[in-house]
Amino acid sequence: MSRLVLVLGDQLSEELIALRRADKATDVVVMAEVAAETDYTAHHPKKIALIFAAMRKFAAHLRKEGWEVRYTQLDDTENAGSIPGELLRRAEETGATEVLATEPGEWRLIEALRDTPLDITLLEDDRFLASHAEFEDWAKGRKALRMEYFYREMRRKTGLLMDGDKPEGSDWNYDSENRKPPPDGIGHGGPMSFTPDETVEEVLDLVEARFPKNFGTLRPFHFATDRGQAKRALAHFIRHALPEFGAYQDAMLDEHKYLNHALVSPYINIGLLSALEVCEAAAEAYRAGDAPLNSVEGFIRQIIGWREYVRGIYFHEGPEYPRRNRLNQQRALPSLYWGAETKMRCLSKAVEQTRDEAYAHHIQRLMVTGNFALIAGIDPAEVHEWYLSVYADAFEWVEAPNTVGMSQFADGGVIASKPYVSSGAYIDRMSDYCGHCAYKVKQKTGEGACPFNLLYWHFLTRHRERFENNPRMGNMYRTWDRMDEEKRETVLAEAEAFLKRLSAGETV
Ligand code: FAD
Ligand code: DLZ
Ligand code: SF4
């Protein structure tokens, strides 16, 4: 009797455990475009198109390799509308009662599969370097689960940038050489872009017709949608951008959306590239003398460090993690996140780029949109919903720890040892936004003062009880306490007035 083999839209890899365990001669692969997955959040149209196009091409590839694939398109009349529904329909059709599935990256879908009345074997997704058991072993007995120590374990485990049992170049982390402010003319010509082929065009037409109201621009569409293209995009990054990746990793430029970032997260997350092959390509560039250690180490750390670590945290902390709100912030997400006009140049650029590309790089996500939401007191559940929907690489296992934990401190410090908040000075140092802004970054109060300057202090005062004894934040409170009282009162009153205008939907 044949079994069904479930392949989800972010599991598009031939090496997927469910495919490795299946029998090509007798088992039937099930893939389905379904409303339950397109509608659990209002995904960016480019994200839906990327997933559907890559799913359709992967199904064609599997068929060429000799698999029987039952593929359901979103507009098929028989479409059951959900992954469990599609499994049940295909089970009835084929007479199969057993299903091989690779664990989904979201509790919601794991629970839905567990509730499906079929004999479903959920196999642990071994596209990740650390298994659940390894992460739990590492976490056991630790007071704080800090990424840096986990990362060193992953370096040892993979042997990446290792010189015997010592780190290459003798340090584990070269961040002190990174994070330089941007000089003029940095950044390569951007990531490789791909002209839509027939399959992609068909999907674009479908997405355009079915999701006209979702936030985001669908065309032009230039993502890689199969493994061959994703490998070319990776090679392009390694050659043209990796050498300067480290030095200007945190830079932001008004007219330069990608700087030296890779734009490989969507491809790794949906299975077109493996995390290890991406890191090995970077390590090879170092060995060949084509990229310096600070860049290569910085890049590899993001993947075998941060990426693996946040995935471990998501499963370690459990299904209620995305709903945490330890700072009890309640303000609704302002409409500027959905493209309403704002005079704040940094935010308008980050949101505009997000709308057009379904992409913003890490520092835009953390120190512009994330920082603003945190200091303005936005409800982290709404912030989480926004990040989950607007980025092409957003899947809950990776998005929620980054948003709820790292960016909004809503987990109370599981991930970050202090909140990532800053005044306008940080954005000014790392970008060229402020020069084009209606606000004045150097102005602390009064007409035209940068809102980040006001809200930063408002945040610290609101949460003084929680943070003033944090050893990494004492300096901030001492600076605040040294300001004369009248100035402090003005800052807080102006911050309040700003927040009132923000919540009233005025253009700020
Ligand atoms: P590069 O800067 O070139 O980095 C290389 C790779 O490192 C990335 O492709 C990615 O695979 C990995 N990486 C880097 N930082 C992280 C991180 N913090 N966590 C996990 N992987 C990382 N990343 C996602 O993949 N999906 C998300 O939904 C997501 N949401 C985020 C939300 C917030 C609030 C923040 C602050 C960060 C988020 N990130 C997310 C992490 C990071 O911003 C993106 O991985 C990165 O911007 C992707 O672009 P890139 O491929 O050009 O990355
Ligand atoms: C994100 C997404 C979307 C938009 N659509 C589908 C789909 O129609 N079919 C599918 O199998 N997967 C889709 N996905 C990816 C899933 O939502 C993803 O597998 C879960 O969020 C777990 O990571
Ligand atoms: Fe952003 Fe303030 Fe700079 Fe304007 S002045 S771009 S609001 S940091």
User: Is 90 exceeded by the pLDDT of residue 181?
Assistant: no
Average pLDDT of span 246-258: 91
Residue 6: its pLDDT value, please? Answer: 98
Under DSSP, is residue 382 helix (H, G, I), strand (E, B) or coil? helix
Owner of token pair 């057993």: 98
Which pLDDT tens digit goes with each residue over 375-398? 999 999 999 999 999 999 999 999
Tell me, using a 6 A CB cutoff, whether residue 399 lines ligand 2.
no
**Confidence band, pLDDT 50/70/90 cuts, at residue 170:** very high
Which pLDDT tens digit goes with each residue over 4-24? 999 999 999 999 999 999 999
Question: Which is nearest to 446 in space by CA: 485, 479, 476, 487?
Answer: 487
CA atoms of 118 and 86, how far apart (whole Å)? 12
User: Which distant-in-sequence residues (6+ apart) come within 8 Å of 243 by Cβ?
Assistant: 285, 290, 291, 292, 295
Average pLDDT of span 241-247: 93
User: Is 90 exceeded by the pLDDT of residue 180?
Assistant: no
Beta-carbon neighbour count of residue 305 at 10 Å?
Answer: 23
Q: What is the 3-state secondary structure (H, E, C) of 62-102?
A: HHHCCCEEEEECCCCCCCCCCHHHHHHHHHHHHCCCEEEEE
Distance 473 CA to ligand 3 centre (A): 23
pTM confidence score: 0.98
Average pLDDT of span 408-432: 97
Test site for ligand 2: of 51, 79, 390, most ligand atoms within 8 A of the Cβ: 51
pLDDT, averaged across the chain: 97
| Ligand 1 atom closest to Cα of residue 391 | 28
Which ligand gives the minimal distance to the CA of 432?
3
Tell me, using a 6 A CB cutoff, whether residue 9 lines ligand 2.
yes
Residue 187: its pLDDT value, please? Answer: 66
CA atoms of 203 and 198, how far apart (whole Å)? 9
CA atoms of 45 and 38, how far apart (whole Å)? 10
Tell me, using a 6 A CB cutoff, whether residue 344 lines ligand 3.
yes
- Residue pair 255/301 in contact (Cβ under 8 Å)? The answer is no
Distance 329 CA to ligand 1 centre (A): 25
Task: Pick 256 or 132 by higher pLDDT.
Answer: 132
Distance 388 CA to ligand 3 centre (A): 25
User: Is 90 exceeded by the pLDDT of residue 160?
Assistant: yes
CA atoms of 68 and 48, how far apart (whole Å)? 24
Under DSSP, is residue 310 helix (H, G, I), strand (E, B) or coil? helix
Average pLDDT of span 83-99: 98
How would you classify the pairing of strands 119-123 and 162-163? Answer: unpaired
The residue type found at 95 is G
CA atoms of 177 and 353, how far apart (whole Å)? 28
Which pLDDT tens digit goes with each residue over 292-303? 999 999 999 999
| Ligand 1 atom closest to Cα of residue 370 | 34
**Confidence band, pLDDT 50/70/90 cuts, at residue 76:** very high
| Ligand 1 atom closest to Cα of residue 361 | 47
Count CA atoms within 13 Å of residue 37 on its CB side. Answer: 29
Share of the chain above pLDDT 90, in %: 95
Question: Which is nearest to 331 in space by CA: 153, 113, 500?
Answer: 500
- Residue pair 28/42 in contact (Cβ under 8 Å)? The answer is no
Distance 220 CA to ligand 3 centre (A): 29
CA-proximal residue: ligand 1, atom 48 (nearest)? 265
Which pLDDT tens digit goes with each residue over 189-240? 789 999 999 999 999 999 999 999 999 999 999 999 999 999 999 999 999 9
- Residue pair 242/295 in contact (Cβ under 8 Å)? The answer is yes
- Residue pair 257/355 in contact (Cβ under 8 Å)? The answer is no
CA-proximal residue: ligand 2, atom 11 (nearest)? 8
Count CA atoms within 13 Å of residue 5 on its CB side. Answer: 23
Test site for ligand 3: of 349, 450, 454, 508, most ligand atoms within 8 A of the Cβ: 450
Average pLDDT of span 34-49: 98
Question: Range with the lowest mean pLDDT among 81-90, 169-178, 312-321?
Answer: 169-178
162: enclosing H helix or E strand: strand 162-163
